A and B are shown apart, each in its own frame.
Chain A
Amino acid sequence: MSYKQPLNNPRHIVVARSAIVGLGVLIAVQTATQFTQREPYPAMFQPSFSGDALPIEHRDSLQAHVTVETNTGESFNFSPHMLLADATIEPARVFDAGTRSNNAHTIDPRSTEFILSRVASLTPGVPNAVTIVWTERHFNHSGEKIDEVEVRRVALPVDEAKP
């Protein structure tokens, strides 16, 4: 049974109306921010998955991995999931945040030092060369990989990190 509260408290009415007006302003601000910059936080958004509407031949995925060569001649491959296993949000996105750079050939020195320390803790032996490689994989509609293209490569200065 629907019930209508007695509207005899002017304070309640004013608060409720103000809240609705405030919501309208918030929606306007967050929408403007999203269109002019990117999705703000905190804001009232839900995940859109809008990028999934692509033609079949463009189904792709940008992925990073770290290749390591040690002084014993062994080589290892680490995914962001392995390097940033402690992250409670998607490690690939955290890795992307830390390695984003205006220069295609370098990343922030603080990120370099951090990634090298993580690599050192996972690698048996001493790393001689550490490289981050970003590849773009293309799939068809059955999920079969059509090709894999390298889009960026950054060699981390291992010698500078050594004591």
Chain B
Amino acid sequence: MTTALSRTVCLFDGWLHRGDFTRSSLAIYRIVFGVLLLVLELTDRQWLANYPDSFYRPRPGPFELFSGFPPEPILISLEIVIALSAAAIVLGVRTLFASLTFTITAIVANGFVFSAGKIEHDILLLLTPAFLGLAGWGDRFSFDAHRRAAQGVTAPQHAEHWPLRLFALIIAWSLFTAAYAKILGGWLNTNTQATHNALIRQIYADNVYGDFSAWVAQHHVPWLWEIADWSTVLLEASLLFAVFSWRACRYTLSVLTLFHLGVMAILMISFQGNVIVYGSFVLWHIMPGARRIGEIITRYRPPVVPGLTQRTAETGSVIGIGMLAWFIHEKVPTPEWAAQVVIVIGSLIATGYLLHTMRHLNTRRSMLASPTPPPSNQRAAQSDF
């Protein structure tokens, strides 16, 4: 009995620490993620200070401890800390500390915003830096890595995998909660076409629609909409089963990205945050041209100023980039199409991955059928995944 238990625990530990992520891959993603944070996610929160506390309706949780919205200086401070930590993530300065700071500060800042009536469900995006930071996304293509290399310290090539497993489980669970609520709400009932209902609500109640969604809404073919309902539920639930294998996880996340593209095209709802989060499971180091992103950051050195230490120069760079991004957001709000561009690019990457996988499967099938070994370039393609 004890042997069986210890064997199971051993298998579990092995699963928790297994994977094919490298620190280089995570570091490239860190730069992409940080830039997207600076461009898309530095939202205005100062408006809360104008609202009376009668609008403060916190959800169950720590925000019930407050009786109203914080004053403007605190909201501005939270915005600045978020911008500075995003800049530190891009450059890789004190990366783990910056990552954890971003996650905590953004959750707190959004907690006040969501206490005004609506949760925006961007928690996965906010959790990403914490988990990827623990996995070692600051150990390559960063000021931290450069400084450590100068001291003769280099982190291993492979990433710390347990935070990634944990994060994948969290994403899977979050999506499962949506599927589960849909099942309880009756999405699988063949008398209700919930997807069509959502579309009608978007168009006629909320007045949010485009030409394509209006055209789609006119076609009420119940069995077709029912397929959409069932597919949505199955897709959202599927990651919880796929999460046990990295490969299955990547297939499912690729399909989910295409699902978000469909939701954006038909329902005009952009879940760009989720698409960005799914990018954390892409093997960026094998993507053509992606290493260039890392090399650009590695090449950048803060300007040498006499009398200033390297550390001070790095901090200055973080403050300069972070404050500039915050200031631009103050003056120019992010255009709505930026989120759509992210989803389209994410979908192109997902399609590329799925096509690559299909080609790989075909290669393997022909390998099994043929006694001769495949050409060397096909062998290389197989080893990528």
Contacts and interface: CB of A to CB of B under 8 A. Distances in A.
Interface string B1-29: 00000000000011011111000000000
Contacts of B107: 42
A52 B194 contact: yes
B50 A86 contact: yes
B174 A16 contact: no
A37 interface: yes
- Identify which of B115, B161, B177, B192 gathers the most chain A CB atoms within 10 Å of its CB: B177
A38 B60 contact: yes
A12 B13 CA distance: 10
Given A3-B19, A50-B187, A54-B197, A39 B117 contact: no
B177 A45 contact: yes
Nearest to B116: A94
A114 B119 CA distance: 23
Nearest to B113: A89
A4 interface: yes
A77 to B, nearest CB: 14
A1 B117 contact: no
Nearest to A114: B52
Contact of A55 (B113, B119, B191, B274): B191
Interface in B188-242: 189, 191-198, 200-201, 203-206, 217-218, 220, 229, 236
Given A23-B170, A97-B55, A7 B117 contact: no
A75 interface: no
B184 interface: yes
A110 interface: yes
Interface in A30-62: 33, 37-55, 59, 61
Interface in A55-79: 55, 59, 61, 63
Interface string A72-97: 00000000000000111110111111
B58 to A, nearest CB: 8
A55 B222 CA distance: 12
Interface string B304-329: 00000000000000000000000000
Contacts of A47: 121, 178
A48 B182 contact: yes
Contact of A44 (B14, B16, B177): B177
Given A20-B16, A53-B187, A110 B118 contact: no
Contact of A2 (B45, B123, B198, B246): B246
A12 B51 CA distance: 46
A4 B17 contact: yes
A30 B264 CA distance: 29
A67 to B, nearest CB: 19
Interface stretch (A124-132, A140-148, A149-157): A140-148
Interface residues of B, number: 81
A59 B200 contact: yes
Interface in A101-137: 107-111, 113-114, 137
Nearest to B200: A143
Chain A interface size band reads: 35 or more
Contact of B204 (A13, A109, A143): A143
Nearest to A79: B207
Nearest to B186: A53
Nearest to A137: B205
Contact of A111 (B52, B163, B185, B187): B52
A97 B197 contact: no
B36 interface: no
A93 B118 contact: yes
Given A46-B178, A89-B113, A39 B119 contact: yes
B45 A19 contact: no
B119 A61 contact: no
A71 B57 CA distance: 35
A152 to B, nearest CB: 17
A2 B19 contact: yes
A107 B43 CA distance: 30
Interface of B: 13-14, 16-20, 43-45, 47, 50-63, 107, 111, 113-121, 123-124, 158, 160-163, 166, 169-170, 173-175, 177-178, 180-182, 184-187, 189, 191-198, 200-201, 203-206, 217-218, 220, 229, 236, 246, 274, 383
Given A16-B162, A48-B180, A59-B197, 6 more contacts: A5-B18, A44-B123, A46-B178, A50-B186, A89-B118, A94-B51
